[in-house]
Amino acid sequence: MTEKRGCKSCGFPESIDFDQLMEGAEQTASDELYEQRLDLCMACPSLLYGSTCSFSGDIVHYRALFKEKSCPRPGSSVW
């Protein structure tokens, strides 16, 4: 599945191929953990445009995929 979104800053269309990202499955969080993280991000008041973390600038759907990543919220990481 490829999801296309435009950059909120410049408008340049960017695509994320989640199937390609999942090829490195040993590096990705479990489906359950991914969904928990995403739910927390979607409820965060620091979420911009319904997709972007205001602390890191990352697309939250992407950041939540990786085991080694954590919430970048300063002082009190949510996940």
Domain-by-domain residue ranges, the chain?
A: 2-63
Are 60 and 47 spatial neighbours (Cβ–Cβ below 8 Å)?
yes
Per-residue pLDDT of the chain (79 residues; tens, 9 = 90+): 555 555 555 555 556 666 665 665 578 899 999 999 999 999 999 999 898 999 999 889 889 988 989 999 999 899 9
pLDDT at residue 62, as a whole number: 86
Residue identified by tokens 């296309």 is 4
Residue 70: strand, helix, or coil: coil
Q: Which residue has the tokens 């620091």?
A: 46
**pLDDT, position 70:** 94
Bridge partners, residue 5, by sequence: 14
Check residue 28 and give its pLDDT: 85
Q: Cβ–Cβ contacts within 10 Å for residue 60, how many?
A: 21
